[in-house]
Amino acid sequence: MKNYSRYISYLSTAGMALLLTACGGGGGASTGSLSLSLTDAPVDSADEVVVEFYGVVLQPANGPRITFDFTDRCTLDPASCQIDLLKLTGGTSDLILDNETVPSGQYNWLRLMVNATQGVRDSYIVVNGQEFELRIPSGDERGLQLNRGFVVPADDTADFTVDFDLRKSVHDPVGSSDYILRPTLRIVDNADVGTLSGSIDSSFFAGGNCSGAVYVFFAGTVGAPDDEDGVGGGPDPITSAIVPDDGAYNYKVAFLSEGSYHIAFTCDAMADDPAVDDDSTVFSFLSETTVSVTAGADTNYDFPPAVP
């Protein structure tokens, strides 16, 4: 696990002095500690999805933006800033900010700053052993912005994880040799998360034609559960988990905030086009239920045999 915080050039020397003054060096304002990690819900059509991160920008509700800049480290050793998101699944995460002191209070948004320059091997995707450029629209200019607010408590620690749902985010445009990453991001408070795991009955995989995945929806959402599309129809899943056809048929979904969820199993994961509202001839769910996730605990649900 990389720890970028050791290499952070935090604002500038003058900026740091101003921040310390604002946060207690002279003004008495309170501070807290912020940690930030990355994780991923995997995509089933790629071998690697590598993104180069060179900084994090925070916007307090009251106050100037705060920038953590990894540029110097990335320039000296690009590989140290490149994260293969496909390795961050099933509860694995990569720490990019480690207990950094920041002003306490409400924050409106954060940005993950990325490098995705055409012709430069910074962000890329590997599919069936072949490497392609990974384009991130507007990513070079304004980063990947997460608009959900969060709070850093005074004299305490805030520990968050940002989840990349690559199954929604990676697009293979027709007629292009590049892939496009339009990230679907969510942020969770690690103090309030649990996991969901279990197995799928082997009967669903009989015949060898099942591309399995478990989709997770907020319970009580209006409309029938839908595929990954973002274009209408029913509610989209908030995350998903691939079920490998390996004889065990296990799944695990991590970093779920405490609460109720509707979960659904499909054998059509590979056919789910995130840019299209697939109809029932292409995509369908074979089994569904509602579960409750408890913070700090693992909720287990095993999908029963297929109904004849």
pLDDT tens-place string over residues 135-163: 887 666 678 888 889 999 999 999 999 99
Span 171-224, pLDDT tens digits: 776 556 788 888 778 899 999 999 999 999 999 998 888 999 999 999 877 566
CATH (domain of 265): 2.60.40
Please count the other Cβ atoms lying within 10 Å of the Cβ belonging to residue 70: 21
- Shared domain check, 29 and 9: yes
Domain membership of residue 76 (yes or no) is: yes
SS (H, E, C) the chain: CCCHHHHCEECCHHHHHHHHHHHHHCCCCCEEEEEEEEEEECCCCCCEEEEEEEEEEEEECCCCCEEEECHHHHHHCHHHHEEEHHHCCCCCCEEEEEEEEEECEEEEEEEEEEECCCCCCCCEEEECCEEEEEECCCHHHHCEEECCCEEECCCCEEEEEEEEEHHHHEECCCCCCCEEECCCEEEEEHHHEEEEEEEECHHHHCCCCCEEEEEEEECCCCCCCCCCCCCCCCCCCCEEEEECCCCCCEEEEEEEECEEEEEEEECEHHHCCCCCCCCCCCCCCCEEEEEEECCCCEEECCECCCCC
User: Are 104 and 216 within one domain?
Assistant: no
Does one domain contain both 151 and 255?
no
- 165 and 51 assigned to the same domain: yes
**Can you give the pTM of this predicted structure?**
0.83
Name all contacts of 72-80 with Cβ < 8 Å and 24+ positions apart: 72/7, 72/9, 73/4, 73/7, 74/115, 78/52, 78/121, 78/122, 80/2, 80/7
Domain membership of residue 305 (yes or no) is no
Residues 200/212, Cβ–Cβ less than 8 Å: yes
Provide the residue-wise pLDDT of the chain in tens; the chain has 308 residues: 454 443 443 333 334 434 443 444 445 579 999 999 999 877 777 899 999 999 999 999 999 999 999 999 888 998 889 999 999 988 899 999 999 999 999 999 999 999 888 888 899 999 889 999 888 876 666 788 888 899 999 999 999 999 987 777 777 765 567 888 887 788 999 999 999 999 999 999 988 889 999 999 998 775 667 666 555 566 788 888 999 999 999 999 999 999 999 999 999 988 887 767 767 778 889 999 999 999 999 999 999 997 76
Task: Tell whether 306 is covered by a domain.
Answer: no
Residue 212, in any domain of the structure: yes
Domain boundary among 183, 203, 233: 183
Q: Among 129, 156, 183, which residue terminates a domain?
A: 183
Answer yes or no: do 91 and 152 share one domain: yes
Domain housing 176: 4-183
Does 282 lie in the same domain as 229? yes
Is the domain of 162 the same as that of 291? no
Shared domain for 233 and 199, answered yes or no, is: yes
Please check whether residues 146 and 293 belong to one and the same domain. Answer: no
CB 197 within 8 A of CB 256: no
Answer yes or no: is 211 within a domain.
yes
Q: Is residue 307 part of a domain?
A: no
The total domain count for the chain is 2
For residue 189, tell me if it sits in a domain.
Answer: no
Residues 237 and 163 grouped into a single domain: no
Tell me: do 154 and 247 sit in the same domain: no
From the list 283, 280, 286, 262, the residue with the least C-alpha distance to 204 is 286
Long-range contacts from 296-299, C-beta under 8 angstroms, 24+ separation: 296/193, 296/194, 297/194, 297/195, 298/194, 298/195, 298/196, 298/197, 299/194, 299/195, 299/196, 299/197
Domain end (from 183, 207, 230): 183
Which residue carries 């399995």 as its tokens? Answer: 212
Cβ-contact 98, 147 below 8 angstroms: no
Asked whether residue 172 is assigned to any structural domain, the reply reads yes
The answer on 72 and 33 residing in a single domain is yes
